[in-house]
Structure 1
Amino acid sequence: MLQPNFAVYLGKEKAGGFFGVVAQDNLFLIIEVEDGMDAEVGREIIQKIKDEVASLTINKLASFDQFISQIITKYNFPTSLTLAAVYVNERILYLKTVGQGKIFLNRGRDFAQIIEKDNSASGYIENSDFFILTNKKLIDLLGSDIELKTIFDHKNPHEIVEELAPQLKGKGDEGIVTLFIQFEEVEIEQDKILDTESQESKEGHGQIKDAGKTFFEMIKSYSQSSSKSKIATFIAVIIIFFILIWSVVLGYKRRNEAEAVKKVKVAKELIIQKLDQAEEGAFLNLPKSQVLISEAKQEIDRLKKQLGKQREKEIKELEELIKDKEGKIVKKEEKNFEEFYDLTIDGKEAKGSVFFLEKDKLSIIDRGKGIIYLLSLSKKSLEKKSASEIKKADLVSTYQEDILFYVRGEGIYKISGDEKAKKAIDKDKDWGNIVDMWIYNGNVYLLDRDKGDIYKYLVAESGYSAKSSYLKGEAGSIKGANSFAIDSSIYVGLDDSIMKYTAGGRDEFSTSWPEKNVKLTKIFTSAEVEKIYGWDKTNEAIYILGKNGTYERQINSSILAKASDFVVFKEAVFVLAGEKIYKIGLD
């Protein structure tokens, strides 16, 4: 178990105010009242709080919050109150601060302020954790909280107080009250019971086996030299012996089971607290809620490590609880998909690689057959254009009656109406890695991943103008881009962000995500849709953002991991996977 070792530093008490400390049973608390409370009255209150602690049991953060609130109300503390308190429930610590109270934690090489002002938190205690409960006056006197970090250096609480005292008193320590608490493991073997369960069980059975063997050998020897009555006596002894051994084994298992139940109960309470906090704060601070969800998942991992295969059903229920809460908090929804269209209806070996959407017309490249399919999503009617050059095509885009497709190393070809494919734009020696192509208002835009630029070709009577950089002074700023989309502004997709440009200049635009491991494969938007959509193939997700970059919700579907392209049309995601197009509803 973890044993607290603590020491208190009390500065000079300010006239007209008072400070006090409670360090009793499982409660550690500092109070400072700058004015409005006589010192003698304050000390009487401290004694009353100590008396209450004897019967105090806290097993939820909400309960600890309520206890502190009741103290403040009951004893009519003035508004100048500063408080910092922690309550220990086995390996869980509940923390609370009021006014200018502060709580710091030193864990290994890490040092940080946990909470301050009117706030609360909870978490697991680890061996050698060092907590500091103090007020703002200490930090002001030291100059910054960084100075606190320098005082540890493997010292215990008493040594720290002895070292700090001369320094603080020399600067004037009026109103400073600080409690230093260090938790140390004192019964390591008890905490390792579950981790060594299997080994101990084997050793226990081995000992029983050896003991039984010894008894049988003894009986055999005795039976050769004893009368029948004595043999009967020994048989009775044997029966009693094995009853005792069996009782020991059952007792050990019961203790193990009770310990496991207790660990699940403690973890469940902590997980529920974290999920409740995450849900309450999601609207104002989604990143903090995501951290709390992550901490809840860590508790599950810790529990699995401690219990192995014990209590699997309860752990699975906790995992489902976290998954359900996470879905609600980050607005994540699992979606089914349905087959929308099978290209093999047109030909046995039909297979799509990429596509492009203009209004309701979906253009799909089939390199194997040298065909571009034109599928009306509204009518489910199919047309097709054939050309030998399409067998090498990587990208396609359409505008009215024109179909343009890009062939790496050659340039851009165009099919107009019933005409054959003709070269529309020659390969440019400055092109790097062209990964996406759009036509907007008849103008052609190319995304160069390696050069970090967007090339623009204006439509003209004789074809297209010479190349120009759309990004102007921002050329080179989007290296590594995977896709782009146009709705009058241009949105550029990078691995974990989206950038927006209007008239060649970068807009004030930033994206937020519900998870840290976002890896965008492609983005999509257009003048016909009101949102921006980010496809994450790795996480089988579509992230839905407002056009200001604000995260709104997310859908997940297993088909997204198998897809090669996607678009959005009329509240549905259309996904290309080989010869089939699948539909995922967004409503």
Structure 2
Amino acid sequence: MSYSAFESAPVINGRSHDFWCQNLITKNILATVASFGSNSLLQGKGFLDALQEWETNLPLTLRQFKNGLLNLSSKFPEINCTIVLFLDKEVLLGVLGQGAIFIKRDKKSGWLMQKEGVILGKLKNHDRLLLFSGDWWKKLPKLYLISALTNSDIYDGAQDLLLNLHRQDLNTTASGLLVKISNNQNTAIKLSKFKSIRKLPQKIFSKIKLLYKPKIALLGFLLIALVVAIILGIYKNFQNQSQAKFSDKLNQISHAVSEGTNLIDLNPIRARELLAQAVADLKQEAQTKHTKEESKVIEDNLTKAIDGYERALNKFTITPEIFFDFNLVKQGAHAAGWFNFEDNLWITDKVNHLIYILNITKKSAKIFSGDEKLSQSISAVGTSQENYVLIDSIYQIGNDGKLKEVILKDEKWGNIVNMYFYGGNLYLLDTLNNQIWKYIRTETGFSEIRNYLTQDTQVDLASATKLAINGSVWVSGGTQMFKFAQGVKELWQIQGLPESLGDKLLIFTSDNVKNVYILDKLQNRIIQTDKDGAYLSQYAWKEKYEITDFMVSESLGKILLLVGDKIYSIEIK
């Protein structure tokens, strides 16, 4: 959808010499800003001026948005800001400093963000958002938030939120925005209250029938009855306390299950966190002794939590389909590996001593070069203007397909297993020397050999097989994956992956995709994460394919697998 229509209402309470707040509303930007400290006014106004400049140069990707906020944070360290950027069909949401975003969609509601960070997603007609800057939202019950978002008039909803703030005697400063997407008629939300399973303690009435008239017998009987009553009372009190404690805990878990289920489509990462914790808590609770009714409640909630968690994992079982057959270009073709630039693939065929170029958009291929030397080719790379192949040395491939040696084999080379072309420069992966060699483009050709990895970067690349570059340099192979920035190793790992990785791993990413994709050959699957490593989804297949390489075109919505003389495709969901 296009985000051309939205309404907003301010939620502002109290300004002082050390607190300043303001909301920014433009065609593409919604932001609520709060600043604390003696310099709050200057900080706040300076921040708003800088933020308004975004209107003419709006961040279009998650990385640009994150870097933009980090840049603002370095200039205005006292600022808290929660911001929404409306792109063509998506929105960027961000929290700088302290802040949060609460959403209501149809009959579902929950937190999208509760800490500093950025996310990318889509909003729908009738969605309502509460943007908070600062931490004052932590003092409000969730019921107040839902009530404000349910009000048919967003301005009345904003006032109700402030009134509830005062009703709780919360003498606090507040800065926020209530936002309604589109101007269509709202649908009121009906709260589904949890049914309490706590049983009220029943009063115990006991009738004592005297059997003995003697005073001694009567006193003894009364004494025994008193002791029994005390024991029963202590037991009943203990039982009631246990039931109350169980009810409170189960209500908290049930709330987490409900919130996690509601967030599956809105924020699957947060949904998985909530549901995974709920599953662990319920399994632990199931190990303790409970009544039959309590055990049934635990079992029902556990089933819901597991079902929700499985849905939030976005696991798809698919059957790859044939995308292209190289036998249409050369009978008996055998593709060994490839390199992609934009919509083109450079494919090496050692068996037939050939290099093919395939345009994946048009599904058209041709033989680009043929030479006996290509039987020993390692990698072919190229762009629309220049092409290179790594054999014993590095050769440039002319438009006529002929090879010209441009970089002689260097004495520093060990075992070169892959070559990559990025930004006009050539990168060689050397598994013997645990190094990535770099050749920089010059006016006359290429520079002398240089180390890409710094001297302090010690890493074992013995099992590495593949390079990928998107500004950072990624190396994969065996059970290892590495990420480097300016020659220094960065900590990168998949967060939230339900099963551990297997062997024969390959990574794909580039400037043309916004995510990272990992081929796990051992377990017949491809895992999708964002650039920071947060798990998003995975695609698995039952058949066994001898996959030599893979790539992703998010513009086509396809994952392509290279298998012998064919390319198979998987639709990205």
- TM-score scaled by length of structure 1: 0.47
Larger helix share, 1 or 2: 1
Greater gyration radius: 1
TM-score (norm 2): 0.48
